[in-house]
Amino acid sequence: MTVSVTLEHPIAYNGQAINTLSFRSPKVGDLIAASEESTPIRQTMHMLARLCGLDFATFGEIDAADLSKIVEATGELLGNEQSTETGAG
């Protein structure tokens, strides 16, 4: 599964403007690498950077509004899909 997100605020990477990021499904190696980070936010950012092929420093340049879109769009990839069930019986 792959998810693409169009950035409202493009970033520069290797001298190129990046307008869209594509995120692939995580692999075990991604989970291991991200788990080595010290805080949950760093773990998530490390994982997202790996899944779109950016280094951690470049991923850190993403605008917060774009990050919100990325987190929402990649929720299912990361196992964070929102449930539509209410739980009411």
> pLDDT per residue over 21-62, tens digit each?
999 999 999 999 999 999 999 999 999 999 999 999 999 999
pTM for the predicted model, two decimal places: 0.85
| The token pair that represents 42 in the structure block | 């760093």
Give the whole-angstrom CA distance, residue 57 versus residue 71.
Answer: 18
Average pLDDT value for residue range 57-70: 97
Question: In this model, does residue 71 exceed pLDDT 90?
Answer: yes
Give the whole-angstrom CA distance, residue 37 versus residue 12.
Answer: 25
